[in-house]
Amino acid sequence: MQKLVIDTDPGVDDALAILMAHAAPDTEVLALTIAAGNVGLAHTTRNALKLVELIGAATPIHPGAATPLVAVPEDAAFVHGVDGFGDVGYAAPKRAAEREHAAATLVRLARAHPGELTYVMLGPLTNLALALALEPALPTLVKRLVVMGGAVTGRGNLPMPRLTVEFNIGFDPEAARVVFDAWPELELVDWEAVVRHGIAYAELDRWFATGGAIAEFYEAISRKTRAFMAGTRDTEVWHGADALAMAVALEPARVAQWAQRRVMVELVGEHTRGMTVVDWNERCGRPANTKIALEFPLERFRTIVSHALGVR
Q: What is the pLDDT of residues 118-135, one digit of tens each?
A: 999 999 999 999 999 999
CA distance 218 to 221: 5
Q: What percent of the chain has pLDDT over 70?
A: 99
Residue 54 has pLDDT above 90, yes or no: yes
CA distance 240 to 191: 10
Contacts of 161 (CB under 8 A, 6+ apart): 270, 271
Position 228 confidence tier, pLDDT thresholds 50, 70, 90: confident
What pLDDT is recorded for position 67?
Answer: 98
DSSP letter string over 209-261?
HHS-HHHHHHHHHHHHHHHHHHHHSS-SEE--HHHHHHHHHH-GGG--EEEEE
- What torsion, rounded to 10 degrees, do the Cα atoms 104, 124, 116, 134 define? -30
- Burial track 172-197 (b if 16+ CB lie within 10 A, e otherwise): bbbbbbbbbebbeebbbbbbbbbbeb
- Burial track 109-124 (b if 16+ CB lie within 10 A, e otherwise): bbeeeeeebbbbbbbb
Cα atoms found within 13 Å of the Cα of residue 300, Cβ hemisphere only = 15
Q: What is the pLDDT of residues 122-170, one digit of tens each?
A: 999 999 999 999 999 999 999 999 999 999 999 999 999 999 999 999 9
Q: Which amino acid is at 194?
A: V
> So which residues are the catalytic ones?
239
Q: What share of the chain is helix, strand, coil (3-state, %, to 5)?
A: 40, 15, 40
What pLDDT is recorded for position 186?
Answer: 98
Instruction: Report pTM.
Output: 0.97
Q: Could you tell me whether strands 237-238 and 276-278 are parallel, antiparallel, or unpaired per DSSP bridges?
A: unpaired
Q: What is the pLDDT of residues 267-291, one digit of tens each?
A: 999 999 999 999 999 999 999 999 9
CA distance 62 to 39: 16
- Host domain of residue 108: 2-308
Cα atoms found within 13 Å of the Cα of residue 75, Cβ hemisphere only = 22
**41-55, 72-86, 155-169, 298-312: lowest mean pLDDT where?**
72-86
DSSP H stretches of helix in the chain: 12-23, 41-55, 77-80, 102-112, 126-134, 138-141, 167-171, 173-182, 191-195, 201-210, 213-232, 241-250, 298-308
Total tally of structural domains belonging to the chain: 1
What pLDDT is recorded for position 78?
Answer: 86
User: What's the mean per-residue pLDDT of the chain?
Assistant: 96
CA distance 102 to 124: 13
* Residue 186 phi, psi (nearest 5): -115, 165
What pLDDT is recorded for position 234?
Answer: 64
For the beta carbon of residue 312, count every other beta carbon within 10 angstroms. Answer: 7
CATH number of residue 197's parent domain = 3.90.245.10
What pLDDT is recorded for position 13?
Answer: 95
